[in-house]
Amino acid sequence: MVNVGILGATGMVGQRFIELLADHPEFEITALSASKRSAGKRYEDAATWYLDSKIPENVKDILVVDTDPSEVKGVEIVFSALPADIAAVVEPKFAEKHIVASNASAMRMEPDVPLVIPEVNPEHLDLVEMQQKNRGWDGFVVTNPNCSTIALVMTLKPLYDQFDIKRVYVSTMQAVSGAGYDGVPSMAIIDNLVPFIGEEEDKVETEPPYILGDLEEGVVTPAQFKVSASCHRVAVLDGHTEAVFIEMGDNFEIDYVKKVLRNFKGLPQKLELYSAPKNPVIVREEENRPQPRMDRNEENGMSVVVGRVRKDTVFDDNIKYVLVGHNTIRGAAGASILNAELINEIL
């Protein structure tokens, strides 16, 4: 077993890490950190547990420590669920000696830090060697993308491999858990929709071409399509929905597009990694699916569910569909855990 720690263990994503790692066959939680407000308390007393599952017995009594490498002891891997500004300072310190699998956006776009979805661009992990050399670290940082980006790119990858994608438009309807426990006041979101999420559109526009880019001689050259995003917060607890419009340079049959999406598999499926879904993308035929409440938990929340795949009626060679992905599982904690499982297997 590999001993692991969770940084930001009391938050929304931190709790998902705990839930997903509780019975993990390779990783054992031995350290939990949070802010000074929580440090020194038993985990059960420090966290306002919001998940439907119970707090796992094996973490209840762990004493939460300050988020500092001198306090988080005896672990090989740390999973980071820290706010970006804290992560920017703390993650490099941990990476001196640890593998850091991070959700935070702080280091995602640094040229020597892999931004990885294991099914999509596992080869970007080659950047690790350069990162360690550049920075003189024994450990390293690997990041997973923004929650909306992950679900989008898992559907773009199989299409990108088959068709000439010219442009992508996406309109997101994002769950409140994506903003963290204290993120969106109930008075702002009940009976309402908020048509702005700070810095989100920039991430959803920048990350997909980068993830689908080629890594050559230590440099990622982004894919040559552009993404335009409009991001919105909706009164859903978990599960981001995205309406996706893709302009393709090729003629295509809808049935063939569905087949390409359904058949998509990547390295995690080949290696049968513990958290890997059998079907990364599930395509539904009903006209009223996917819906977050009904579809977010497919394959333990690790699959993206697509529906309403159809031709666009305005432009030629355009396709549109709707997807749902679980933002705190596939879009956050589950994504980091899958990254760590892949690293454990191949590095």
What are the catalytic residues? 147, 240
Q: By the 8 A CB rule, do 77 and 27 touch?
A: yes
Minimum CB–partner distance for residue 167 and ligand NAP (Å): 25
How far is Cα 93 from Cα 308, in angstroms, rounded to an integer?
Answer: 46
Which of 24, 49, 83, 88: binder of ligand NAP (CB under 6 A)? Answer: 83
Peptide bond into 56 cis (omega under 30): no
Minimum CB–partner distance for residue 100 and ligand NAP (Å): 13
* CB nearer ligand NAP, residue 32 or residue 322: 32
**Which ranges constitute the DSSP H helices of 195-300?**
200-211, 254-262, 267-270, 292-295
Q: Can you name the residues that pair with 305 across neighbouring β-strands?
A: 282, 324
5 binds ligand NAP (CB under 6 A): no
Residues 281 to 320 in contact with ligand NAP, rule: CB under 6 A: none
How far is Cα 226 from Cα 7, in angstroms, rounded to an integer?
Answer: 34
Exposure string of 316-345, with b = 16+ CB inside 10 Å and e = fewer, is: ebbbbbbbbbbbbbbbbbbbbbbbbbbbbb
How far is Cα 209 from Cα 184, in angstroms, rounded to an integer?
Answer: 29
Stretch that binds ligand NAP, among 52-60, 83-91, 260-268, 284-292 (CB under 6 A): 83-91
Strands 77-80 and 2-7: parallel
Minimum CB–partner distance for residue 236 and ligand NAP (Å): 12
Minimum CB–partner distance for residue 280 and ligand NAP (Å): 18
* CB nearer ligand NAP, residue 199 or residue 214: 199
Of 79, 71, 13, whose CA–CA distance to 47 is shortest?
13
Q: By the 8 A CB rule, do 165 and 244 touch?
A: no
Residues 256 to 275 in contact with ligand NAP, rule: CB under 6 A: none
Taking phi first (over 0 means left), then psi (-120 to 50 degrees means alpha), and beta for anything else, what does residue 155 get?
alpha
* CB nearer ligand NAP, residue 204 or residue 273: 204
Tokens standing for 290?
């996917």
Tell the residue number behind the tokens 């661009």, with chain if given: 121
173 binds ligand NAP (CB under 6 A): no
Which of 18, 21, 34, 261: binder of ligand NAP (CB under 6 A)? Answer: 34
Per-residue binding string, ligand NAP, 54-73, x by CB under 6 A, is: -------------x------
328 binds ligand NAP (CB under 6 A): yes
109 binds ligand NAP (CB under 6 A): no
197 binds ligand NAP (CB under 6 A): no
Of 244, 240, 235, whose CA–CA distance to 173 is shortest?
240
Stretch that binds ligand NAP, among 52-60, 75-83, 107-115, 129-137 (CB under 6 A): 75-83
* CB nearer ligand NAP, residue 13 or residue 62: 13
Which of 59, 81, 168, 261: binder of ligand NAP (CB under 6 A)? Answer: 81
Size, binding site for ligand NAP by CB under 6 A: 30
Minimum CB–partner distance for residue 302 and ligand NAP (Å): 14
131 binds ligand NAP (CB under 6 A): no
Tokens standing for 324?
């749902």
User: Which residues of the chain form contacts with ligand NAP (CB under 6 A)?
Assistant: 8-14, 34-35, 37-38, 67, 81-84, 86, 103-105, 147, 177-178, 180-182, 327-328, 331-332
